[in-house]
Structures are given as structure tokens and as C-alpha cells.
């Protein structure tokens, strides 16, 4: 298993919301252009479609779920990325994206995604303080 991780200057709940709110995925996921799901927030067993950066729609299913902490999905029937939030304290957390060992080519995409998540979470947290 390969992983990318980042310290996030925001509470774990803020990072988790970004990871589970399908409306935010195109803002932080460079490989995601759109999402079609029955509900805005994902959960255990949720199925939907994700539009890739090249416009192709692929089916997905959330196949592993730990509320508030971790989710993993299969895209196009293939094991894809895992998304974990580790609380550090009341105001910060660590976000970890995992990918299969056979997908090292996807590592730079995950790096961009995790950096965007960290920035978006920090901005949301700062906005709530003002």
C-alpha cells in the first residue's frame, strides 16, 4: 500500500466533511470532474458515478467505512484510494490517502489532492473564526 499524508491545520471534523461531501470532490480531487450519487454525503455501501478528468463516467462503491475516520472505494470495479483522518488535537489532524501498491503512477495525483484538502480545510477553519 502506498500513501500520501499531510498535517492539516483544521479539526478532524472539517477534513472529514471535505472527504465525504461529494460536492467538494472536484475542488480537491484532480482526477474528479463531477459526482452523481443519491445523497450529497457518502457513507457505507454508497454507490454512484464519478466523472473523471477526461470526462468519462465510472461507477463507484464505498466498500470500507469507519465513521469519522476512514473510507475506501472501488472505481470501475477496481480497488482505488483510501481516505483517512487522524485527529491530532482539537485544532489539527492528519489526512492520509492510500493507493494500491500497483498504482505508483497515481501518487502525484494524491499529493495534489492532499495538499488541496489541507488548504481548503485551513481556509474553512479560518473563515469560521471570523
Q: Residues 6 or more apart from 30 whose CB is under 8 A from it? A: 53, 109, 112, 113, 116
Tens digits of residue pLDDT in 35-47? 999 999 999 999 9
Measured distance CA(64)–CA(30) in Å, rounded: 22
Span 32-90, pLDDT tens digits: 999 999 999 999 999 999 999 999 999 999 999 999 999 999 999 999 999 999 999 99
**Helix, coil or strand: residue 46:** coil
In angstroms, rounded to a whole number, what is the distance separating the alpha carbons of residues 110 and 79? 15
CATH architecture of the domain 2-129 equals 2-Layer Sandwich (3.30)
Amino acid at each position: 500500500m502506498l500513501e500520501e499524508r499531510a498535517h492539516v491545520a483544521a479539526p478532524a471534523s472539517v477534513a472529514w466533511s471535505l472527504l465525504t461531501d461529494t460536492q467538494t470532490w472536484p475542488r480537491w480531487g484532480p482526477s474528479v470532474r463531477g459526482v452523481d450519487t443519491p445523497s450529497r454525503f457518502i457513507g457505507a455501501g454508497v454507490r454512484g458515478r464519478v466523472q473523471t478528468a477526461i470526462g468519462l463516467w465510472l461507477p463507484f462503491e464505498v466498500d470500507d467505512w469507519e465513521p469519522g475516520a476512514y473510507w475506501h472505494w472501488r472505481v470501475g470495479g477496481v480497488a482505488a484510494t483510501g481516505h483517512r483522518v487522524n485527529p491530532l488535537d482539537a485544532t489539527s489532524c492528519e489526512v492520509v490517502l492510500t493507493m494500491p501498491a500497483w498504482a505508483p503512477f497515481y501518487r502525484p495525483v494524491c499529493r495534489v489532492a492532499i495538499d488541496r484538502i489541507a488548504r481548503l480545510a485551513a481556509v474553512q477553519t479560518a473563515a469560521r473564526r471570523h
